[in-house]
Amino acid sequence: MSLSTEQKFWSLLKEQSSFQEAIGLMAWDMRTKAPSKGMDNRSEVLGVLSQKVHEIQTSDVLKEYIEELKNKPSSNRLTASLQVAEETYDRTTKIPASMYREYVTLQSRAESRWAEAKENNDFKSFQPYLEELVKYNREFANLWGYEQHIYDALLYNYEPGVTVEQLDAVFPKVRESLTSLLNEIKNAPVQPDPEVLKGHFPKQQQEKFSEEILKRMSYDFEAGRLDETIHPFAIGLNVNDVRVTTKYDEKDFRTAVFGTIHEGGHALYEQNIDPNLSFTPLATGTSMGIHESQSLFWENFIARSRPFWETHYEVFRSYAPRRFEQIPLEDFFRAVNEVKPSLIRIEADELTYPLHIMVRYELEKALIQGDIEVKHLPELWNEKMHSYLGVTPRKDSEGVLQDIHWAGGDFGYFPSYALGYMYAAQIQHAMKQEIDIDETIKAGDFHQIKQWLTKNIHQYGKMKKPLSILNDVTGEGLNADYLISYLTDKYRGIYQF
């Protein structure tokens, strides 16, 4: 019995998805447990597998299936899969297969060299790899095409529908509001005491508390795991295998605890995509910004809230060193919400975090446009950090080398972090219309919150475009006012001005 065109289409997508899962598993291994001597060989293998995916995405057979099926009556699942497959085909066919394979191999090698450069504080050893990555991305952007700004072509990979024009209209408003609020905080008469948080906190105990909170968030450990890495990430291999990684600092528990909750927010998204979307291009988050909205919602709007610690401080104390028994809840809450400009993005407080993103956005946009050169990045990075945050890196490992994104070729990704924060504030506002969030958090049961997110966002995977998700959930387009109001109200309360 011969297969129908639709059956053949699904079979081809399943083959593509299987290669992508293998690539994801290897990427997780390289960032967590793989031996350093195996990196070059692993990079070659990744190049081969990625070429297989590229061949499927650009095959004449796939195009034939799309053309035959797209104008026939079909299910929402098939219609959306055809749209994503066709869009991917159109963009991917513009990149020669040999060029793509070379790029994937370069990405893997660059990540390995970046890790070494960061450890040795040696930007110049990484510079040639970054120059090549920038060169490739410029070429890709030109091949894909764009209407106004070359950087728009790269933004599309992570946040389709968002442009430089839109970002440049919104980001300055947020930056001005936050820098103004930051100045008020610096001059506030009441300041939190961060010393109450300092001291040795064994990694094993941090891990146990992190696992406890992930469970309370409804993260399914039978469909995931928690591991250690140099740069935290979450990765969804399939809906039943979504992994979280974190980084432990025994001198500052906040790195792991809030980092794990952040990655857990990403993981909940991937674990709760409709299983019927498995083995299709829809079985993933709709955009990096919507994805980031989920991680920042859990990390900031939930885990940094007063109601959260009113309920979970005693749980925390059961894992923490005994000195925390002498620290009042109010002192602890204010300390974990201290606003203090820092050098490291992933350790930044929630108010200054968007400013870190704007430093990176402005630099990579200028790189892609050709306004600056890679060799000048360390100096330019330091200048912007001093201008926006009032701090200057002493070495490149805590400056321009701190993030893995450029080493992975992820140009156009960073704006998603700030967009995600704005999305999260809008989503929280919408959720408040249906759920008493504070009382739910105080009850220590996040199931209702998780269900709401699954119903309105998670289940759809990539069935909906990011701005459609935002509009369906909140009833409006991107609006930065909710984030500005949230941060202003919260920190005027904490700092009492």
Instruction: Report how far apart, in Å, the C-alpha atoms of 213 and of each of 264, 375, 380, 399, 458 are.
Output: 9, 43, 39, 31, 20
For the chain, count helices (H), then strands (E). 20, 3
To which H or E segment does residue 228 belong?
A: strand 226-228
CA distances from 84 to 70, 78, 87, 284, 486 (A): 11, 10, 5, 12, 35
Question: What b-and-e string marks burial along 185-199, b requiring 16 or more CB atoms within 10 Å of the CB?
Answer: beebeeebeeebbee
Tokens matching residue 234: 């979450």
The span from the CA of 258 to the CA of 241, in Å, is: 22
The amino acid occupying position 182 is L
Phi, psi of 237 (to 5 degrees): -85, -40
Q: Are 197 and 250 contacting, i.e. CB atoms less than 8 angstroms apart?
A: no
Of the candidates 251, 217, 216, 210, the one whose C-alpha atom is nearest the C-alpha of residue 232 is 210
Contact criterion met (CB below 8 Å) for 110 and 315? no
Asked if 30 and 245 touch (Cβ cutoff 8 Å), the reply is: no
CB atoms within 10 A of CB 173: 12
Beta pairing partners, 242: 236
Q: Which of 293, 321, 298, 322 is nearest to 308 (CA)?
A: 298
Cα–Cα distances in angstroms (integers) from residue 460 to residues 42, 63, 453, 470, in the given order? 33, 25, 11, 13
> Which residues carry out catalysis?
263
Give the 3-state secondary structure of residue 55: helix
Residue type, 360: R
Three-class SS of residue 243? strand
